[in-house]
Chain A
Amino acid sequence: MSAHENNIEYTRKDLPENFRRLGLLLAVVGLLIAVTGYFIDPVRSAFNNVMLLMFLASIGVGSLFLVALEYVAGAVWSTPFRRVSEFLAATLLILPIVAIPLFFNMHELFHWTHTEVVETDYLLKSKSSYLNTTFFIIRSIVYLVIWILFFVLITKNSKKQDESGDQILTKRNITLSAIFMPLFALTVTFSSIDWLMSLEPHWFSTIFGVYYFSGTVLAALAAATMFIIILNEKGYFVKGLNRDHYYSLGALLFAFTNFWAYIAFSQFLLIYYANLPEETFWYLARWEGTWLYYSVGLIFIRFLVPYFGLLSQPSKMNPRRLLFMSVWILFAHIYDLYWIIMPTMSKEGVSFNWFEIGYPLLAFGLIITIFNLKAKKNNLVAIRDPKLKRGLDFRL
């Protein structure tokens, strides 16, 4: 084992200064615009905040899922850059703060909080044992606690291994990850139902949790790919990361793009074919007026462009192309969330207010800043992970 460890040369370097500046700049500018927006149009801001929350939750819990997946599946190819996903999962730590505006704007956001409406509405009344303010807040806290708890436990073990090199820590993380997996499935499903689907409380789709999950994994993969390519091309990782690793990341992005399309189409087809008025109205709202153009745009932005962009083998190995596609997919996730959330607010058609641009900026700024803060204190590579050497030797 020691002979293997000697082969790995790694010295921690601070991330580039302009990287840190870019993160702070985006976060501050985004935050200023978002706060200004709150005074202009509080309702629109509240809806945009849901989008920000769901986006950051995607990055955070999706990255934690990727880390847990590596442990559970015993994967080695992703070990050299597992830390990137661990850093990104730290987004979970600020989720409670991002979620606070949600609880203060529940009356504007969620129709089911209007008790006088629920009294006269048969459907909402039947759902009120689940969809009520107290239970909603309890559930939200449970999701956040589970996510943060597992984030802390898993990353703590991983960090400890950098010093001790103890293999038992890997074993412990495998157990933790195995426990986390079913909890992840449940919390992601229910959080998407609570925070996204209940915006339109009459509507229901049993596949919605999977739909959000597909976007979550895509966003987490894209964010990880983005950081890996930027940093590896500048030599921040250990030597040995090459095109084969890039190819695998690209292949996963490609696979989950297809998975998203499969799930999104399944949801649409079943509702289209059953033609039940309590289900179709959700799509109808997105199929009328200017939302139609937005919905057609979703097919192109979320599916066709990444599909053809990542289809061929060389495109998955070309760092610049892969970097472009990963940033594209991150924006596509925001576009998708906007498509789910905003028609509830502006039913007449797409209406864009200038301050909404602040939310994507804030999201990117926060991710980069959190990554920077984590990278300052931790190694970018899990240097004494027993799987690291094999991960570096990974070839297609």
Chain B
Amino acid sequence: MSDKTLYGYTGLFDTPDEIINAANTVADKGYTRYDVNTPYPVHGMDKAMKLRPSKLGYAALAFGLSGLLSFFVLLYWMLVIDYPLVIGGKPFFAFPAFIPVLFEVLVLSASVATVITMITVYFKFPNISHPLHDTPYMKNVSVDKYGICIEAADEKFNESEVKSFLAELGAKDIAPVYFEEVDEEIKILEPKFIGLLVLVAVIVSGGTYFSLNKLMFMIPFNWMMQQEKIIAQDNKSLFADDFAMRQPVRGTIARGTMPYKYAGNPDAAGENLKNPLLPTVGNLELGKKKYNIYCSPCHGNYGEGDSRLKGQFPNPPSLHSDKARTWTDGRIYHAITEGQNVMPAYTSQLDPEERWAVIHYVRALQRSLNAKESDLE
């Protein structure tokens, strides 16, 4: 026993009343380093042990409020400043909709942080052992006995005195508890631990793979995909001709659109169409923006036919060729509207006004390489 240090003396009681009385007496005697272990929380113990109210609540408050505040800033930044989206016709700063999220974050951050605080501050994590572990005493108080342990670290501790004192109180099974001081380093790279990590990784990734790739196609989870609704371009025989969509009524056009008069007729388009926009700064900037988004991947940033696609798609000819320079605005408009050779039509990406703005910008690009005398003045 010489290499072991005395931790304290333990005693067991049979009823909660006895342990309350014992705790009361021990506290009255002036002991401070002692603890009570019971199978369940005994009402009135705080008072008997003369414990002061726990300070853990302040940690909970601080963590909860800081979690709440930082999440509020995050929400406000995302939904109001950085990426405002209209959701359900509500204002960007829809405070009632914030409340449930903020409440949950408050509770979550407070509870998680409180548990972590408790474990680190009171239980001295990562230390996970305690001298009372694996003793007969602990086995008893985990089942049906009520125990008290007076620690040797107490100033008033005196081995024989404590022994007789516990006996006086009526404690049974009075026994000393020893512990070995070991300076064990925490080994993170232990094979067992690594094995556990691997196991967790396999289970989590396997479960994820299974639920995303297999489970969704099994009965009954695949029922989610069978929905009694009509999707556009679906042939669910909503109409007699097995189509879900209808052609527009003959002789009508949708609001805000104008049918293209020169379909399949580039020459007529070149002759008759005139650019309705003036080359103002605004129009040129709109044209530049749209050109850089939709045209420059193939035509290049300066229209020289130097695509960024690195041969994945055939390069178009330069926009600075004589042919392109002598085309009228209407002819270019036709090319954008209907496409040409491998170039597709850009009607769905660019509305008519944007097409004309792009043409202004292309003209400006052409002038930059083939400037007229008058441009230098």
* Chain A residues within CB distance 8 Å of chain B: 244, 265, 268-269, 272-273, 275, 313, 394-396
**Interface bits B77-98 vs A (CB < 8 Å: 1, else 0):** 0000000000011100000110
If A273-B88, A275-B88, A275-B89 touch, does A396 touch B96 (CB 8 Å cutoff)?
Answer: no
Task: Report the separation of the CA atoms of residues A273 and B94 in the bound assembly, to the nearest whole angstrom.
Answer: 10
Task: Report the separation of the CA atoms of residues A275 and B86 in the bound assembly, to the nearest whole angstrom.
Answer: 14
**Interface bits B323-359 vs A (CB < 8 Å: 1, else 0):** 0000000000000000000000000000000000000
Q: Quick check: A395 and B89 within 8 Å, CB to CB?
A: no
Name the A residues within 8 Å of B100 (CB-CB): 269
Known: A272-B97, A275-B88, A395-B47. 13 other contacts (CB 8 A): A244-B44, A269-B97, A269-B99, A269-B100, A272-B96, A273-B90, A273-B96, A273-B97, A275-B89, A394-B43, A395-B44, A396-B44, A396-B46
Task: Report the separation of the CA atoms of residues A273 and B88 in the bound assembly, to the nearest whole angstrom.
Answer: 7
In the complex, how many angstroms separate the beta carbon of A3 from the nearest chain B beta carbon?
15
Closest to A396 in B: B43
Flag whether B191 is at the interface (Cβ < 8 A). Answer: no
Closest to A395 in B: B44
Q: Quick check: A268 and B96 within 8 Å, CB to CB?
A: yes
Name the B residues within 8 Å of A275 (CB-CB): 88-89
Task: Report the separation of the CA atoms of residues A396 and B89 in the bound assembly, to the nearest whole angstrom.
Answer: 50
In the complex, how many angstroms separate the beta carbon of A258 from the nearest chain B beta carbon?
11
Q: Quick check: B47 and A265 within 8 Å, CB to CB?
A: no
Closest to B44 in A: A395
Task: Report the separation of the CA atoms of residues A272 and B100 in the bound assembly, to the nearest whole angstrom.
Answer: 13
Task: Report the separation of the CA atoms of residues A306 and B221 in the bound assembly, to the nearest whole angstrom.
Answer: 47
In the complex, how many angstroms separate the beta carbon of B179 from the nearest chain A beta carbon?
33
**Interface bits B286-307 vs A (CB < 8 Å: 1, else 0):** 0000000000000000000000
Name the B residues within 8 Å of A396 (CB-CB): 43-44, 46-47
Q: Top 5 closest A-B pairs, CB basis?
A: A395-B44, A395-B43, A272-B96, A269-B96, A396-B43
Interface residues on B, range: 10 to 19
7 contacts between A and B (CB under 8 A): A244-B43, A268-B96, A269-B97, A269-B99, A272-B97, A313-B53, A395-B47
Task: Report the separation of the CA atoms of residues A273 and B90 in the bound assembly, to the nearest whole angstrom.
Answer: 8
Task: Report the separation of the CA atoms of residues A269 and B95 in the bound assembly, to the nearest whole angstrom.
Answer: 10
Name the A residues within 8 Å of B90 (CB-CB): 273
Name the A residues within 8 Å of B99 (CB-CB): 265, 269
Task: Report the separation of the CA atoms of residues A394 and B44 in the bound assembly, to the nearest whole angstrom.
Answer: 8
Task: Report the separation of the CA atoms of residues A374 and B212 in the bound assembly, to the nearest whole angstrom.
Answer: 66
Name the B residues within 8 Å of A395 (CB-CB): 43-44, 47
Task: Report the separation of the CA atoms of residues A394 and B43 in the bound assembly, to the nearest whole angstrom.
Answer: 7
**Interface bits B46-71 vs A (CB < 8 Å: 1, else 0):** 11000001000000000000000000
Closest to A274 in B: B88
**Interface bits B224-240 vs A (CB < 8 Å: 1, else 0):** 00000000000000000
In the complex, how many angstroms separate the beta carbon of A249 from the nearest chain B beta carbon?
16
Task: Report the separation of the CA atoms of residues A244 and B46 in the bound assembly, to the nearest whole angstrom.
Answer: 12
Name the A residues within 8 Å of B96 (CB-CB): 265, 268-269, 272-273
Closest to A394 in B: B43
Name the B residues within 8 Å of A244 (CB-CB): 43-44
Name the A residues within 8 Å of B43 (CB-CB): 244, 394-396
In the complex, how many angstroms separate the beta carbon of B55 from the nearest chain A beta carbon?
12
Chain B contacts with A in 14-51, Cβ cutoff 8 A: 43-44, 46-47
In the complex, how many angstroms separate the beta carbon of A369 from the nearest chain B beta carbon?
37
In the complex, how many angstroms separate the beta carbon of A63 from the nearest chain B beta carbon?
26
Closest to B53 in A: A313
In the complex, how many angstroms separate the beta carbon of A319 from the nearest chain B beta carbon?
18
Closest to B46 in A: A396
Task: Report the separation of the CA atoms of residues A269 and B47 in the bound assembly, to the nearest whole angstrom.
Answer: 43
In the complex, how many angstroms separate the beta carbon of B86 from the nearest chain A beta carbon?
13
Name the A residues within 8 Å of B46 (CB-CB): 396
Task: Report the separation of the CA atoms of residues A396 and B20 in the bound assembly, to the nearest whole angstrom.
Answer: 13
In the complex, how many angstroms separate the beta carbon of A7 from the nearest chain B beta carbon?
14
Q: Which of A272, A275, A313, A395 has the most CB of B within 10 A?
A: A395
In the complex, how many angstroms separate the beta carbon of B278 from the nearest chain A beta carbon?
44
Task: Report the separation of the CA atoms of residues A269 and B100 in the bound assembly, to the nearest whole angstrom.
Answer: 9
Name the A residues within 8 Å of B44 (CB-CB): 244, 395-396
Name the B residues within 8 Å of A394 (CB-CB): 43
Name the B residues within 8 Å of A269 (CB-CB): 96-97, 99-100
In the complex, how many angstroms separate the beta carbon of A283 from the nearest chain B beta carbon?
11
Name the B residues within 8 Å of A272 (CB-CB): 96-97
Task: Report the separation of the CA atoms of residues A313 and B88 in the bound assembly, to the nearest whole angstrom.
Answer: 42
Name the A residues within 8 Å of B47 (CB-CB): 395-396
Task: Report the separation of the CA atoms of residues A395 and B45 in the bound assembly, to the nearest whole angstrom.
Answer: 8
In the complex, how many angstroms separate the beta carbon of B3 from the nearest chain A beta carbon?
43
Name the B residues within 8 Å of A265 (CB-CB): 96, 99
Task: Report the separation of the CA atoms of residues A313 and B97 in the bound assembly, to the nearest whole angstrom.
Answer: 31
In the complex, how many angstroms separate the beta carbon of B87 from the nearest chain A beta carbon?
9
In the complex, how many angstroms separate the beta carbon of A245 from the nearest chain B beta carbon?
12
In the complex, how many angstroms separate the beta carbon of B62 from the nearest chain A beta carbon?
15
In the complex, how many angstroms separate the beta carbon of A2 from the nearest chain B beta carbon?
20
Closest to B41 in A: A396
Q: Which of B46, B90, B96, B100 has the most CB of A within 10 A?
A: B96
In the complex, how many angstroms separate the beta carbon of B68 from the nearest chain A beta carbon?
15
Task: Report the separation of the CA atoms of residues A265 and B316 in the bound assembly, to the nearest whole angstrom.
Answer: 61
